[in-house]
A and B are shown apart, each in its own frame.
Chain A
Amino acid sequence: MTAARVFVVGGVLSYRALFNWMQPVVYVPTMLGGPLFQILFFAYIGRASGVESDAFFVVGNAVQVSAMAGIFGVAMTIGGERWTQTLSLVLVSPANRFALFLGRALPLIVNGFVLSCFGFVVGLALLDFELEPSVLPALAACVLVTTASCSAFGFIIGSIGLYAREIFVAANLAYIGLLLFCGVNVPLDELPAWMRAISEVLPLTHGIEAARLVAGGAALGSVDGLILREALVGACYAAAAYALFRAFEAAGRRNASFDQF
């Protein structure tokens, strides 16, 4: 019961505190303005270079922007505690770490899903992109799994934030790394073999591929393998992040380094 309370109340409070996102003056430019212009930017580069259609860029970027909540949000929800000098208070508590972990991720997964929906709306409104209403449930499933997978990846960054100082650098590099490696804007077969190999073990790659097929009219059943792989990648990152979190927590206790900069 206590774990459930930590999960719900801790998650909600953490989300409300995070980035002051409840203020529209921050939420709108970062969470809506950024994705809007990212989609337009890459769609127009696609037009200029003659590579792929608007639909390719809309789906790729609309799914990828969910990583903004997944990477920055989740990384900051743990790593940001250091900046606000509350990390020791959180870690000295006897709260179930798994509930603490998951409670903080859930609002961000929902946020990532909302961002992704916004990205699709941008594509529908401003670019040469159409979606059949019948594909929406399957597309939502692809996006949800991908967002959860990205959030698990973000926890790796967040856990590193227990130990390292420059969490913003890591989060920024992770976000744009996904933009480059995961077939968001560059078709995977245009990437060198070593980049394709890395993309296989990154979140987003399989989710975006599934979303593109679904947006093109494929049934959910025909992309279940891709969705499963996306979920599996996410589960591996979640397990690794949890292990890292506990290891860095133990190291931080030993070295009394939680509040150090």
Chain B
Amino acid sequence: MRILRLLWVGWLFHMKMLTRSAFNFWLGLVYPLFFATAAFFMFQAGDDPKPLLYASLGAAVMGIWGATSTAAGAALARERWLGTLELLATAPAHFALILLPVTIAMATIGIYSMISTLVWGRLVFGIELEVGDPIAFALAVPATVVSIGALGFLLAVAFVRFRQAWALGNMLEYPVWLISGFLVPLTLFPAWVRPISWALAPTWGISAIRGAALGGSPYSDIALALLLGAVYTLAGILLLERALRSARQKASLSLS
């Protein structure tokens, strides 16, 4: 119960912080719209209207990863700059319970851009989205957010030794957009790319959302997205244990 409360309060606290930042709000809202608009124009140029609907959902979910990648990469560096990293690392609660809700909050902010992209597509490009399975859709969106947040958690932990981790997180924005099949079907990629795509939770998240909206097998995709999210979290916790032990031994937590 205490763990759940800590996760909830951590998530709520960081959501409040993120929603009060003009930088995060405007960039999170508008930035994905530019990419979505470019994608809509590109798919609109084709004769078949079906890919436009496909692109609309993909572009909408792109914002969730966009809101997470750079911010999660820099999550620990930000605590270091604020001077709170040592306090959090030495708190009685496990550090993973503090960091995980932070990255999930970052992914949650992406829902703003998801909604704005769908509304933009409807109003400007006339893309009508009729959700085939509303229950599956209502499950697929939070499952995608949580699994992307878990991927952000793993990134945050993996980049703990890099002071400029934001740059690495930023670099990963396009590749995940690309190989998770947000806008490009996986069949267009070389065969060696597909296993990498399958190991990414966003691949299953967008597949679940598309399946729920357009017809498919959303429930198995939701389960896979959540399963991968759990694997990322476990891997992140193991990495974090190791990084914290090393930092304590070398007294280097604030020095990286």
Contact = CB atoms under 8 A, between A and B. Distances in A.
Q: Is the interface of A mostly helix, strand, loop or mixed?
A: helix
A224 interface: no
Size bracket of the A interface: 35 or more
Contacts of A86: none
B46 A180 contact: no
Contacts, number: 96
Given A37-B178, A180-B37, A47 B171 contact: no
Nearest to B163: A25
B46 A25 contact: no
B188 A51 contact: no
Contact of B22 (A38, A44, A166): A166
B24 to A, nearest CB: 10
A37 B171 contact: yes
A37 B167 CA distance: 14
B183 A48 contact: yes
B181 to A, nearest CB: 10
A41 interface: yes
- SS of B interface (majority): helix
Interface in A21-47: 23, 25-26, 29-30, 33-34, 37-38, 40-42, 44-47
Contacts of B30: 173
Contact of B164 (A20, A34, A186): A20
Interface string B37-53: 11101111110000100
B8 interface: no
A168 interface: yes
Given A48-B51, A179-B38, A169 B184 contact: no
Contact of B31 (A20, A37, A176): A176
B120 interface: no
A259 B183 CA distance: 44
B45 A190 contact: yes
Given A172-B31, A176-B31, A180-B37, A51 B46 contact: yes
Contact of B174 (A34, A166, A180): A34
Contacts of A252: none
A45 B55 CA distance: 10
B22 to A, nearest CB: 6
A53 to B, nearest CB: 13
Interface in A157-196: 166, 168-169, 172-173, 176-177, 179-180, 185-187, 190-191
Given A44-B178, A48-B188, A34 B41 contact: no
Residue of A23, A29, A44, A173 ringed by the most chain B CB atoms within 10 A = A29
B85 interface: no
B188 A186 contact: no
Indicate the member of A40, A41, A186 with the most B CB atoms within 10 Å. A41
B232 interface: no
Given A25-B162, A47-B188, A186 B38 contact: yes
Contact of A45 (B22, B42, B170): B42
A30 B183 contact: no
A94 interface: no
Nearest to B40: A186
A176 B34 contact: yes
A25 B183 contact: no
A40 B178 contact: yes
A190 B189 CA distance: 26
B187 to A, nearest CB: 10
Nearest to A30: B167
A46 B177 contact: no
Most buried by B among A47, A51, A176: A176
Given A38-B174, A172-B27, A46 B167 contact: no
A34 B169 CA distance: 11
B168 interface: yes
B35 interface: yes
B34 to A, nearest CB: 4
Given A48-B185, A49-B51, A176 B35 contact: yes
A44 B171 contact: no
Given A25-B164, A48-B51, A49-B51, A169 B41 contact: no
A186 B174 contact: no
Q: What are the 6 A-B residue pairs with the smallest beta carbon separation, nearest first?
A: A37-B174, A29-B171, A33-B171, A176-B34, A186-B41, A29-B167
Given A48-B51, A169-B26, A176-B31, 10 more contacts: A26-B164, A30-B167, A45-B183, A47-B184, A48-B184, A49-B55, A51-B43, A166-B22, A172-B31, A186-B41
